[in-house]
């Protein structure tokens, strides 16, 4: 096919769409089902309505080929485990008795059975459930859900493409099951898994699917020759099947690099590639392999992870270049639109001058359609759209909203000394022990306590004017008093105020910093039914006034025990926001760090002896390619040290991280120079404690003993067992006892019981020592 005919054939598509619905109908239905207020049939009908609505919106916008299989009640990796029959033995009875309840048990656990481990999906804030595999794993095809959803879309008249997690990525993201040797490699099960995928593909073909998408984002990471050989074998075998749809192998989040020649040679009909941040590298690599003759190329030129409008002229130039590389070029977002909010239209509170710079899922869909039209029919067919796009981009570039000379001058004046504590850790530790007087194995929590319906109602009442500020603050004081009283009675050593005034650990601060914008309806799925509203970082950052000192000081006035000041760190403030793309991330991180440094200094001046600066996104934001990591870790760790570097030796700095693979960043954790770090460890069975010990980590650490993302209550024996395991790696004088993460999403009954058991476990192990 010539470049001209490849352009004329251009179509618009997406890989996935937000699942939740305009009013988070899915969240409400699922949580209602868990509480017994919604029946299984009603939940399924809500899900079907949401799928139908998404397909209709996409088709009406001009998307030629809609995805199916991207919808999930909880997580698409968990759906894949169900599809291939990889149900852990401890969950099989529940899945057999009731597949829906068993599905949620794998995600959340029950009082008697632990859930699957959860971790971050590549370098995003989406969390997936980690498959548990071993040499005895038997795969079986369970394609009913995938086939049914494809048939739903087809029956409505849509051209549909089923989307599956590819077999190589599925195995590369899996872990050895409990009791299996730690060095077991799930990828060795590939030959056992491929026939199951063959059966699923045959079922989809029988249902009428002409194309199927297999997502292989793991191939954009550094891969060994053995892993690349496995990918080659997988797509040689799947491509060689006769009873299957055409195969589109999708990559996203980075460049394919050394995996591109493997997939280019594979007998598959199409590749999808990311041409946003990875555009230059993927273009060079396509040229190096001689293009994709005879194949379909789906070009992800619209950023599926950020919310800034597309640059049409830049994207069209990229698409024009790609026409010479493939038999057919289609237009898409760089990844699933799961990672952005639904629509800017309901955002009435954002300045219209800024709103024109933003594109959520609905707007990105329109951008994809416009670009496909321009590619197929020529730029004259979209001349008006190009002119409007050019004007919007120019208005952002010239806007004073994005620049603050005072912030830039302060940032430019930072020196290396600003990011160094005045004394080394050993001297600080002695000063902190003398000041705090804590017992061996001190107990604490991560920060937040349950956000009750009453607290949410109080915020809603304040927004609507049903109560005034004085009435709202009285409710907050009462909640803080209850949280402090409970912690004292339970016997926790270092307390928190519980954060009842905070709507979200990033949004709360963003609303008080210049340069940030808050959305009203910009919900994005983090995991399961947990949705967040990432703020928009649009301009230079500064802190007009203290943000947390008042409530922290009030809590401290209620107790003689130390109360932690609680802040969100600069890297997480960036990672869990939609960050500006018009300057280097390191520059923005420094601005946020300086604003937070002012808050840390004010907390210390108000008497805070312990200040926690959470950085759960440090690992999440780690670049997928090793070559790109040193530069990122340099500015990321510098930003943390700049935030905390001004405090006195006797002030103890904590940090917290959760639900990530920490082994890759142990040196960076060390480089933060925090006095204490708390980390998620309950689901991973204290793996991180071993990793810290292997590195020789010299400071204090609290690997979690209570999995807060499950409703189950761990008893004291279970917590004590994890503590003893932690002590095998971390000496008692440096080991803390805490949950995995904040308690915001839990209910009060389970929180109280779990923390009482946590304290009892610490006392038991203390006595043994």
Catalytic machinery residues: 709
**Residue 515: alpha-carbon gap to chain centroid:** 23
Radius of gyration of the chain measured on its C-alpha atoms: 26
User: Which three-class secondary structure state does DSSP give residue 21?
Assistant: coil
DSSP 711-767: S----HHHHHHHHHHHHTTS-GGGB-B--SS--TTS-HHHHHHHHHHHHHHHHHHHH
Please enumerate, as own/partner, the contacts of 133-138 that have beta carbons within 8 Å and a separation of 24 or more.
133/86, 133/171, 133/174, 133/175, 133/176, 133/177, 133/180, 133/184, 133/186, 133/189, 134/176, 134/177, 134/179, 134/180, 134/184, 135/180, 135/184, 135/188, 137/86, 137/177, 137/189, 137/192, 138/85, 138/192
CA 617 – CA 603 distance, rounded (Å):
23
578 secondary structure, DSSP code: B
DSSP 414-458: --GGGGS-SS-HHHHHHHHHHHH-PPSS-BB--SB----HHHHHH
Kindly give the pairing relationship between strand 127-129 and strand 160-165: unpaired
User: How many CB atoms lie under 10 A from the CB of residue 434?
Assistant: 9
CA 378 – CA 574 distance, rounded (Å):
38
User: In this structure, what token pair is assigned to residue 324?
Assistant: 């010479």
Strands (E) located in 494-632: 514-517, 524-527, 530-532, 536-542, 565-568, 610-614
CA 205 – CA 576 distance, rounded (Å):
39
Q: Which of 464, 478, 446 is nearest to 554 (CA)?
A: 478
CA 736 – CA 730 distance, rounded (Å):
10
For Cα atoms 107, 112, 118, give the angle at the middle one, nearest 5 degrees: 25
273 secondary structure, DSSP code: E
User: In this structure, what token pair is assigned to residue 720?
Assistant: 């004590």
User: In this structure, what token pair is assigned to residue 575?
Assistant: 């990672």
């Amino acid at each position: 096919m010539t470049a001209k005919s490849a352009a004329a054939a251009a179509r618009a598509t997406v890989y996935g769409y937000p699942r939740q619905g305009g009013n988070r109908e899915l969240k409400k239905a699922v949580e209602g089902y868990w509480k017994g207020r919604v029946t299984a049939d009603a939940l399924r009908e809500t899900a079907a309505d949401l799928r139908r609505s998404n397909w209709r919106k996409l088709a009406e916008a001009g998307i030629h080929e809609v995805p199916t299989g991207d919808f999930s009640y909880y997580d698409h990796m968990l759906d894949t485990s169900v599809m291939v029959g990889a149900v852990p033995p401890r969950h099989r009875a529940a899945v057999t008795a009731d597949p829906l309840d068993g599905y949620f048990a794998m995600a959340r656990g029950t009082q008697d059975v632990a859930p699957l481990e959860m971790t971050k999906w590549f370098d995003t804030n989406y969390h997936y459930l980690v498959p548990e595999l071993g040499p005895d794993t038997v795969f079986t095809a369970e394609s009913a859900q995938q086939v049914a959803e494809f048939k739903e879309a087809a029956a409505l008249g849509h051209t549909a493409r089923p989307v599956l997690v590819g077999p190589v990525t599925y195995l590369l993201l899996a872990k050895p099951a409990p009791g299996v040797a730690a060095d077991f490699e799930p990828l060795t099960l590939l030959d056992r898994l491929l026939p199951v995928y063959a059966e699923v593909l045959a079922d989809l073909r029988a249902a009428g699917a002409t194309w199927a998408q297999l997502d292989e984002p793991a191939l954009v990471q550094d891969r060994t020759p053995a892993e690349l050989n496995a990918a080659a074998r997988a797509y040689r075998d799947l491509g060689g099947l006769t009873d299957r749809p055409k195969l589109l192998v999708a990559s996203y989040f980075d460049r394919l690099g050394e995996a591109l020649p493997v997939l280019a040679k594979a007998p598959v009909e199409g590749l999808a590639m990311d041409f946003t941040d990875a555009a230059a590298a993927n273009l060079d690599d396509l040229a190096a392999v001689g293009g994709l003759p005879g194949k379909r190329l789906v070009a992800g030129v619209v950023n599926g992870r950020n919310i800034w409008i597309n640059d049409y002229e830049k994207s069209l130039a990229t698409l024009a270049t790609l026409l010479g590389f493939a038999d057919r070029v289609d237009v898409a977002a760089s990844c699933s639109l799961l990672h952005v909010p639904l629509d800017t239209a309901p955002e009435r509170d954002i300045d219209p001058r800024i709103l024109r710079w933003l594109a959520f899922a609905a707007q990105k869909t329109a951008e994809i359609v416009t670009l496909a039209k321009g590619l197929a029919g020529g730029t004259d067919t979209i001349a008006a759209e190009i002119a409007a796009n050019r004007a919007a981009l120019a208005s952002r570039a010239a806007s004073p909203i994005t620049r603050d000379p005072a912030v830039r001058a302060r940032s430019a004046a930072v020196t290396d000394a600003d990011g160094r504590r005045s004394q080394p850790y050993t001297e600080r530790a002695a000063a902190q022990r003398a000041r705090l007087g804590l017992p061996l194995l001190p107990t604490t929590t991560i920060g937040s306590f349950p956000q009750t319906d009453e607290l949410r109602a109080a915020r809603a009442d304040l927004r609507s004017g049903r109560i005034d500020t004085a009435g709202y603050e009285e409710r907050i004081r009462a909640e803080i008093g209850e949280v402090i009283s409970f912690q004292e009675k339970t016997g926790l050593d270092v307390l928190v105020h519980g954060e009842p005034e905070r709507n979200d650990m990033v949004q709360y601060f963003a609303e008080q910093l210049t340069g940030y914008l808050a959305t009203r309806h910009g919900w994005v799925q983090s995991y399961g039914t947990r949705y967040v509203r990432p703020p928009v970082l649009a301009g230079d950052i500064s802190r007009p006034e203290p943000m947390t000192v008042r409530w922290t000081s009030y809590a401290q006035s209620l107790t003689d025990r130390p109360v932690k000041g609680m802040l969100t760190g600069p890297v997480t403030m960036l990672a869990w926001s939609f960050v500006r793309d018009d300057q280097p991330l390191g520059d923005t991180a420094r601005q946020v760090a300086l604003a937070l440094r002012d808050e840390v200094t004010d907390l210390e001046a108000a008497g805070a002896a312990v200040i926690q600066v959470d950085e759960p996104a440090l690992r999440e934001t780690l670049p997928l390619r090793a070559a790109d990591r040193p530069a990122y870790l340099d500015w990321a760790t510098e930003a943390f040290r700049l935030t905390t570097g001004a405090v006195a030796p006797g002030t103890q700095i904590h940090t917290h991280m959760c639900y990530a693979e920490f082994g890759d960043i142990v040196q960076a954790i060390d480089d933060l120079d925090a006095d204490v770090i708390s980390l998620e460890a309950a689901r991973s069975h204290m793996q991180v404690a071993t990793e810290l010990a292997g590195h020789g980590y010299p400071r204090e650490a609290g690997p979690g003993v209570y999995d807060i993302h499950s409703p189950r209550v761990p008893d004291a024996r279970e917590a004590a067992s994890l503590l003893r395991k932690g002590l095998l790696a971390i000496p008692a004088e440096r080991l803390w006892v805490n949950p995995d993460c904040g308690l915001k999403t839990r209910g009060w009954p389970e929180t109280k019981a779990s923390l009482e058991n946590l304290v009892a476990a610490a006392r038991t192990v203390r006595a043994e020592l």
